[in-house]
Amino acid sequence: MAGGSGGWRRGAGLLASLLLAGSVALFPGTGASGFGTIATGGQNREHERITRAAVACPEGDDDTCFQARSISQLAGDGKQFGAVGSPDLTESLNPAAHCDDADFLNDGDVQTAAGYPRTRDQATTRLHECIDHLRDRFREAVTDADGLLDANGDIAGAEVDLGNDCVPGAAAERRAKCATLEAFGRALHGAQDFYSHSNWADAADPSRPAGPENPPGLNLPAPSALFDLRGTGTPAIPDGLTTGCFVVPDQPAGVAKCRNRVTHAALNKDTGLVDPATGATSDPTTPRGQVGDNFAKAVTGAIVETRRQWDDLRDALRTTYGRNAGDKMACALTHDDPVNDCRRRNATMLAVVAAGILLLGGAAVARWLIVRRRPRADRT
């Protein structure tokens, strides 16, 4: 499995990384419209590190976290884009994939809101487009997971094999595990970006006047009620919520379509250092991220949101396919050798259940015998 096709896949991933790095250097903002995916151009693989901090297994492991090889497919590993980075390969300029362009300014002054180039309704429509886009990706993950099991309900070995890395965005990538992780990773990417690209969790710079380059912050916690990706309803958007308008070149004082608007450059908290084990942050590099603990709040929000989405995906698999199949699918996604590990897990669970039934049955029989031996007058 480590022959020519594997080399081509690794080469394709490296080429994509180099192309993205080049575009960042030549056109700041291109392909960098969210937490970072690569380790150059000012980025520090923030998406990867956030995802690892959220759902990677520590030294031990359980069925809710991703083992080493599997987390690399979801988060990336420094040498390749993981699924969470795939929107920066194929959707870098799609606002819905990054929750961009849902900008509005209302600092409590009716005059300010009335004079803003976009209405609240226009901004709300764009944010709903982002939510709907991520819901589509989440549903794709649930649908693609059907291929993880064969007709007998067992894990399909060829569909979960990681002898070669998954290739995000590749039409030739057919493995069900790779497809499921890519769809889920794309959903995670946008949900993580929301905390960086919006004022949901942050605060304005108190030393500067409010305006398009310094919009008010909402300082709200995660997870956000807006990102119920399993749902179908239309969430209510807070009046003061804004994300940033994105255009190349991306700069705080907007140009072209972003002139006089809150921009991605003014609002984002995309870059800084994130500990992939703990989620601890340091050295934020964007203007908004350097205000107070804005970068830390964006990262914490993204980590909490990632965990919520993984919990919701597991629940969605159980609801769609039944508890036993859904749990087996989640095990197939998180384990590096699911054909063996998840079979042993199921056998252990069955043994525990059987032992429990035997103990309960034995206790019932013992009680019946005790009652039978009592004099009739003492029986109750």
- The residue range of the domain holding 89 is 4-336
Q: What is the pLDDT of residue 170?
A: 77
Given a cut of 50, whether residue 123 has pLDDT beyond it is yes
Cβ contacts of 206 within 8 Å, gap of 6 or more: none
Count of CB atoms within 10 A of residue 323's CB?
A: 10
Pair (206, 308) in one structural domain: yes
Task: Tell me the C-alpha distance between 104 and 321, whole Å.
Answer: 41
Q: What is the pLDDT of residue 10?
A: 38
Given a cut of 70, whether residue 265 has pLDDT beyond it is yes
Task: Tell me the C-alpha distance between 193 and 197, whole Å.
Answer: 6
Pair (182, 65) in one structural domain: yes
Overall average pLDDT of the 225-248 stretch: 96
Q: Is 358 helix (H, G, I), strand (E, B) or coil?
A: helix
Tens digit of each residue's pLDDT (9 = 90 or more) over 81-114: 899 999 999 999 999 999 999 999 987 776 677 7
**% pLDDT > 70, the chain:** 81
Cβ contacts of 91 within 8 Å, gap of 6 or more: 97, 98, 186
Q: H helices of the chain, where?
A: 4-26, 46-55, 68-75, 87-90, 95-98, 110-115, 120-144, 157-160, 176-197, 264-267, 294-321, 323-334, 338-373
Tens digit of each residue's pLDDT (9 = 90 or more) over 248-264: 999 999 999 999 999 99
Please give the structure tokens belonging to residue 180.
């499921």
Amino acid in the structure at residue 177: K
Q: Is 288 helix (H, G, I), strand (E, B) or coil?
A: coil
Task: Tell me the C-alpha distance between 74 and 264, whole Å.
Answer: 26
Q: What is the pLDDT of residue 66?
A: 97
Q: What is the pLDDT of residue 345?
A: 57
Pair (269, 377) in one structural domain: no
Cβ contacts of 320 within 8 Å, gap of 6 or more: 142, 326
Tens digit of each residue's pLDDT (9 = 90 or more) over 355-380: 344 455 555 544 544 545 555 555 54
Q: Which has more pLDDT, 60 or 314?
A: 314
Burial class (CB in 10 A: 0-12, 13-18, 19+), 378: exposed
Pair (259, 360) in one structural domain: no
Given a cut of 60, whether residue 52 has pLDDT beyond it is yes
Pair (51, 166) in one structural domain: yes
Pair (251, 368) in one structural domain: no
What is the rounded average pLDDT for all residues in the chain?
A: 85
Please give the structure tokens belonging to residue 270.
């995309």
* Ranges 42-46, 106-110, 133-137, 156-160: which has the least confidence: 106-110
Total domain count, the chain: 2
Pair (283, 238) in one structural domain: yes
Q: Residues 22, 27, 28, 34: is their CA dihedral positive or negative?
A: negative
What are the b/e assignments for 280-294, b being 16+ CB within 10 Å? Answer: ebeebbbbbbebbeb
Pair (324, 347) in one structural domain: no
**Which DSSP letter does residue 66 get?**
B
- Which residues face 66 on adjacent strands? 56
Task: Tell me the C-alpha distance between 142 and 329, whole Å.
Answer: 10
Pair (190, 285) in one structural domain: yes
Indicate the pLDDT class of residue 61, thresholds 50, 70 and 90. low
Please give the structure tokens belonging to residue 89.
């390969």
Indicate the pLDDT class of residue 22, thresholds 50, 70 and 90. very low
Please give the structure tokens belonging to residue 29.
């903002």
Overall average pLDDT of the 319-331 stretch: 98
Q: What is the pLDDT of residue 197?
A: 98
Pair (45, 102) in one structural domain: yes
Q: Are the C-beta atoms of 173 and 326 separated by less than 8 Å?
A: no
Pair (264, 375) in one structural domain: no
Instruction: Let me know how many helices (H) and strands (E) the chain has, helices first.
Output: 13, 2
Q: What is the pLDDT of residue 373?
A: 57
Q: Are the C-beta atoms of 237 and 224 separated by less than 8 Å?
A: no
Pair (102, 124) in one structural domain: yes
- Residue tagged 């703990």 (tokens): 278
Q: Are the C-beta atoms of 194 and 286 separated by less than 8 Å?
A: no
Q: Are the C-beta atoms of 265 and 250 separated by less than 8 Å?
A: yes
Q: Is 255 helix (H, G, I), strand (E, B) or coil?
A: coil
- The kind and range of the H/E element at 282 are strand 281-282
Q: What is the pLDDT of residue 81?
A: 84
